[in-house]
Structure 1
Amino acid sequence: MLSSSLASRAQEAWNEWEIQCLVMASFSLQVFLLLSAPFRRRHVSRLLNGSLWVAYLMADYVATYILGRLTLLLAVTGGNEGTRHHQLALFWAPFLLLHLGGQETITAFSMEDNTLWKRRLLDLIAQVAMSVYVVGKQWRQGDRLLVAPMVLMFVLGAVKYGERIWALRAAAARAPGSSSIASLVTHAYWKEHYWKGGYGRLVCISSQDKISIESILKEASVEFQASLDFFMDMTPSDKSISSWMSAFDMDTLLQLKTSKNVYGMAYKLAEMHVSLIYDYLYTKFGTVRFHASPKSNPTMVAALQWLVSLGLTSVALALFAMAMAGNTTSNFDYSESDILISYILLKRERRQQTSPGGAVGALIRRILQAPCETPPPPHIIVSPEVKKLLLDKMFVAAIEALQNNRWDFRRFQGQWALWVANRFEGSDAAAGPAHKALSSIQKLDFVATVVVWHLVTTICFQAGDGPGELTNPSNDLSGYIMYLVAKRGLMVDSNGHIMIAKTQMGVPDFLDELHQDGFIQKLREGDQQYNSPFQLCIAEACMVRVELFKIPEARDRWKLIAAVWTEILCYMALNCGATFHAKHLTAGGEFLTQAKMLLFVIRLPFLIKKMGVIIPPFM
């Protein structure tokens, strides 16, 4: 009997407080999404991503369920005393539309969510219809003083929901496999002044004593369309040449390479490009900044949005307060808890518009200031030496491409390392040790090449006979790329997975031998042999290592190794697919993505020689 009584009381309590609890749960989910979503672009945390994923899904489910319960509440209770007691709950329907519209800090959890924008549009139609039904019931049998604030919040909620679908649709148009890609690529091909300037502006920025964040943001905004197309692998690779491209001549490139703050400028600009692209793909910030008309001022658009949202919310709050003040003469007995919840919902929306940390305030700040940079993930320490080495090699490759042949980034063939070998052995010295070492790249597939050169770099690094400015960053890049290939399976086909598995069977014993006396000397002399079919990569690594040790100068040897790894990194950045880069924007980012946008900043993949002018062919 006692248990039955407790169950009955619990059921009665839940029936009494069900709507209130669910509304506050929806409110809490929105607050969590607003505050937590920005952290995923800067931190790699399974707990954070898991919590955001659950909150992102549950927020829509809970809000939709509550709207259904509100319509059921109207149908069941009719016009009796219970209806008047719960009548204020109907006032919350427009706020559920606001919740379904989502927060400015997150519109999509992943790229797949963007592609579901048509489903969201159907949801919008259904939820708006239910909200109209609730508002209509309020007009016919409820407190008519609440109709005006309900209508205002309904309009704001419908606009916010539509804005979310607009953002999803715009991002989905550039998702891999989208039917809109063909038209977007064609548009980019024929668009004049695809890049609105050459190296001149970059030289001006990097020549400053202190790099201006405003100038970095302005440059990134001007080139946003081109950077987004490049990021999503939609850049035309053969655009007709325009005469105005003299801004990309050799002199300007050399000025950029030797400017005082070129490293800080290049990486900050690459980070800014990544941050703006994240905004476009996963938040509402890009909706105002880039989805609107190109001729519109984004600051004015943001200010107009802020004024409209603030005005509607403030008027609704004032009208609601007046309705509650006049409630003493009405026939509706609103509970204090319902009134408190209503004020919480209204004041939260108003505070979001007016506080410095509010969503629209944050939007304006992101237009006027720089977004937070996206640091590399914690599984690799990207030292300043690694960044300097990568940018130096990019500049060297750009100059070499101008003086000799364009870099073919569609396949990895050791072209950068071959340029290095030609400097100290000559282009005709095919029998030299450097050229022999590089010959392995031509006969191995990509995964096997990565495995072989990772083993070679490990052996050379443990030998400790090279300059630190080359050995340490080269070894770091080797470990990072091996991590991407072996752990992440990036650019690995079925044969590559088998190759990695076979190598892992032989690598432990192989690496243990590195500590044995005389092993390095055996490699120098070519006495160490591996004939096992499971250790073919190890045998190839030994051959390459022997040839590298024949190079007289250790610095030349490490220049060769550094060129191999920097080209592999750039090759992977350009060919691993936009899906990989877009996916990891939401999980702290990858250094590989930063490298891709650095290539965009330098224009390296598209520099060709024509009458002494460096010309990106898709201009």
Structure 2
Amino acid sequence: MDVSSKMGLVNLSQDIEELWNEWQIRSLMLIGVLLQIILTILGERRKYTVGLGDFLWLAYLSADSVAIFSLGILARSVANSTNPNLIPVFWAPILLVHIGGPGTISAYSMHEVDKLLINHLLQLVTRIGVVGYVLFRLRENAFMLVAIPIFISGMIKYGERIWVFKRNKESNNLSQQPSAKRPCIPFEDLFSFTESSSEVRYLHEARLLFNTSKRLFQSLDLVNFDQRITYELVSQKEAEEAFQLTEIELGLKYDRLYSKVATISWHRFIIRSVTFLSSIFALVSFSIMIKSKSVYSKNDRIISYVLLSGVVCLESYSIIGHLFSDWPMIWLSRWEKTFPYLYRSRCFSLLLSFSGKRKRWSRLMGQHNLISSLSKKPVNKLRKKYFPGNLNIHCRVDADKDLKELIFKQVMDKRTRYERLRYERSKNGPDTSDFPVLLKLLEERGCNSLQSKGCFRELGWSVDDTEFSHSLLTWHIATHVCYIDDSRKNGFANHQNCAMSRSLSNYMLYLLVHCPNMLAMELSGTRYTDTRIHLHRLLFIRNTPKEAENDIPMDKLDALSFPKAQVRAFFYELLQSPSTNILKEIGEQEEEKSALLDGCRLAMSLQSLETQDGWSNDKKWEMISELWVEMLMYAASHSGWKEHADALARGGELLTHVCLLMAHLGLSKQCPPARRDQLDDFLETVVYDV
């Protein structure tokens, strides 16, 4: 290489280095604004949108990292530069605003909520200290008038974030507070909204339920008074109304855990006004001063306008989003007697109407089908390793009105049976405990549905004396095989009970495979994997020459896919009479924990019901749908509340709503039977301090 070429490369590298030094902090500032916009918009949407997890997590981590890295570069540049005024002085406070985060997302997950508060306080002190150092170095800059309001706004926003963590930490220590054994529902609140509009009462009832759920999420027993009130509120509702109440309740819970939105008060109104007016004042001041003092380059002026406008727009978006949340409606409803004209205004009616129609969770159920997944294309190894959560989720279906009615009806039926059993047990004496009765009902996972249809003797083996995951897989396989056979014979696939059975079956398997922690199961994946491998091997052997049967390793066997026609042909042959050869073939290839053989046996038994007197396809699918609801209720009564709180940040789960409904109706281990002397509980509510 000649001398001129070397000199050209040296000059090019110098130009690149100068360009990087010039645009390093500027590009990072713009990236920071973009990340704040993403977090502000998606932070609220993740409450009712699924599939944002990985992207939002990356943006959340990057936002703090970019802001902290930029702050370090600014501090170093100010310390080393001979002319620090080349960098706009108010960029450092803007970074503090970015670190404070938007109002729509203060924490990403429960893991961060549980983080030590002292860590957040130390970070607050050090980052404010760095910004203060930059401002001190540039104290003679004429644009300090722009920097100071932004600095105040940044400290407030960061302080809000710390306050949210402190609030949640105190909520997590509810059991240590003196009022832990007192009712959560203020006595006067029960009658303060009896004459209000239906929309206002609806929000008020949801807030009462939210107050009691604080104890539930801390795994504390409900107080008898609270338990009776929640039962009266929920039991008198229709199914859609009851689920709407839990939706609002969980929306309030999400806001308290993962955002800066909280109960409206005058001091929060003042704080929000200060941050908004500070950002407006900074933007206006910069616009006026830049006309008379063009000390910055054109690029820096444009970037400064973008940064300041971004702060104003994001603050405005946060305020508007807060105003349209449920909290302002609850706050305004307290002023009904003071400002009665407010309730007759068109504006308030529109706000209430909008609030009632808002989505607060995705209203979707994840679907995973073991048999249908055999026909999917093999998954890339890297994707399987690093993105396992999205594998084989075929789709998400709506939790529609019919399904909610079915669930609510069965929950209420279980409560009715509980009352009847309690009454029968009370005949043995007033000191007889009712708690064993409740525990026995909560352990049901299909036996009541089988008994009510007179099938427990023939099919009870599938739900009793076996692990829940095995029972779940057995009924999942049987449900899909019955669907395959019925859709071929008489086109029964679109029947209501059939559709609900399939959606619940696929949803329960989705929870088993992708959210096992919500089902509180150990080694749940082993039984599923063995069943999947078992079915793969059978299909491989039936469609492969004998000399190649043993030539494929286990990992490749699991990655195989089969045409839908081959899969259906296998089960068609199973259901043909006689089918002993297929069952023998399945038994010969039996895996240790596979549920395939039991699932096929159960499917054949279910299909044979049609040959009996009094049985029809409709009755069969009615029984299957009721059994799946029992499975769902069993899972709800055995799941942990921390996992439900985590699920709120992923769009929510139907299982969480069922869990709350059962708890509010007294069907939970956290709902001990009421004492006989109810008068003492009633009098306590009058004197306790709220």
Give the structure-1-normalised TM-score. Answer: 0.78
2:280 maps to what in 1?
314
Where 1:587 maps in the other structure, the secondary structure is coil
8 Å CA contact 1:197–1:247 kept in 2: the answer is no
8 Å CA contact 1:402–1:607 kept in 2: the answer is no
8 Å CA contact 1:374–1:588 kept in 2: the answer is yes
1:499 maps to what in 2?
527
Query: Quick one: distance in 1 between partners of 2:256 and 2:221?
Result: 23
Counting only pairs closer than 5 Å after superposition, residues 73-222 of structure 1 correspond to structure 2 as 73-78=77-82, 82-84=83-85, 86=86, 88-116=87-115, 117-139=117-139, 142-143=140-141, 145-172=142-169, 180=173, 182-183=175-176, 187-188=179-180, 190-194=181-185, 212=199, 214-222=200-208
Where 1:589 maps in the other structure, the secondary structure is coil
From 562, 566, 576, the equivalent of 2:639 is 576
Where 1:223 maps in the other structure, the secondary structure is helix
- The Cα shift of 1:163 comes to 0.7
AA of the residue aligned to 1:327: K
CA distances 1:453-502 after superposition (whole Å, capped 9, x unpaired): 22333344455499944333123212221222245445475654333233
8 Å CA contact 1:386–1:474 kept in 2: the answer is no
- The Cα shift of 1:566 comes to 1.0
Query: Quick one: distance in 1 between partners of 2:509 and 2:472?
Result: 7
From 32, 50, 57, the equivalent of 1:53 is 57
Query: Quick one: distance in 1 between partners of 2:442 and 2:56?
Result: 42
Query: Quick one: distance in 2 between partners of 1:170 and 1:338?
Result: 40
From 204, 210, 221, the equivalent of 1:237 is 221
From 67, 70, 74, the equivalent of 2:74 is 70
Query: Quick one: distance in 2 between partners of 1:559 and 1:404?
Result: 25
Query: Quick one: distance in 2 between partners of 1:345 and 1:380?
Result: 39
- The Cα shift of 1:200 comes to 10
1:40 maps to what in 2?
46
Any unmatched runs of 5+ in structure 2?
1-6, 330-350, 367-394, 423-434, 539-566, 686-690
8 Å CA contact 2:147–2:282 kept in 1: the answer is yes
CA distances 1:351-383 after superposition (whole Å, capped 9, x unpaired): 344x4xx11221122133535331215534234
8 Å CA contact 2:240–2:404 kept in 1: the answer is no
1:489–1:109 Cα change, 3 Å: same
State whether structure 2 residue 417 is matched by structure 1 residue 400.
yes
1:197–1:604 Cα change, 3 Å: farther
AA of the residue aligned to 2:78: L
1:429 maps to what in 2?
none
Query: Quick one: distance in 2 between partners of 1:132 and 1:420?
Result: 68
Query: Quick one: distance in 2 between partners of 1:249 and 1:374?
Result: 23
1:496–1:335 Cα change, 3 Å: closer
State whether structure 2 residue 541 is matched by structure 1 residue 514.
no
Of 527-536 and 339-348, deviating more is 527-536
AA of the residue aligned to 1:91: F
1:293 maps to what in 2?
none
When the two chains are superposed, the root-mean-square deviation of aligned CA atoms in Å is: 4.1
8 Å CA contact 1:67–1:130 kept in 2: the answer is yes
Query: Quick one: distance in 2 between partners of 1:396 and 1:63?
Result: 55
Query: Quick one: distance in 2 between partners of 1:558 and 1:407?
Result: 31
1:520–1:365 Cα change, 3 Å: farther
Aligned pairs, number: 561
Counting only pairs closer than 5 Å after superposition, residues 534-545 of structure 1 correspond to structure 2 as 534=591, 537-541=595-599
- The Cα shift of 1:151 comes to 2.3
CA distances 1:242-264 after superposition (whole Å, capped 9, x unpaired): 5x9776789x877x2xx6xx122
1:94–1:411 Cα change, 3 Å: farther
- The Cα shift of 1:198 comes to 11
AA of the residue aligned to 1:129: G
1:565 maps to what in 2?
628
8 Å CA contact 2:442–2:667 kept in 1: the answer is no
Query: Quick one: distance in 2 between partners of 1:530 and 1:468?
Result: 31
1:200–1:408 Cα change, 3 Å: farther
Where 1:109 maps in the other structure, the secondary structure is coil
CA distances 1:152-194 after superposition (whole Å, capped 9, x unpaired): 221211111111122133335567xxxx36426x744x12244
8 Å CA contact 1:216–1:265 kept in 2: the answer is no
Query: Quick one: distance in 1 between partners of 2:146 and 2:437?
Result: 62
AA of the residue aligned to 1:4: V
AA of the residue aligned to 1:224: F
2:248 maps to what in 1?
272
Query: Quick one: distance in 1 between partners of 2:134 and 2:514?
Result: 53
2:500 maps to what in 1?
473
From 411, 415, 418, the equivalent of 2:444 is 415
1:387 maps to what in 2?
404
State whether structure 2 residue 512 is matched by structure 1 residue 553.
no
Any unmatched runs of 5+ in structure 1?
290-297, 426-432
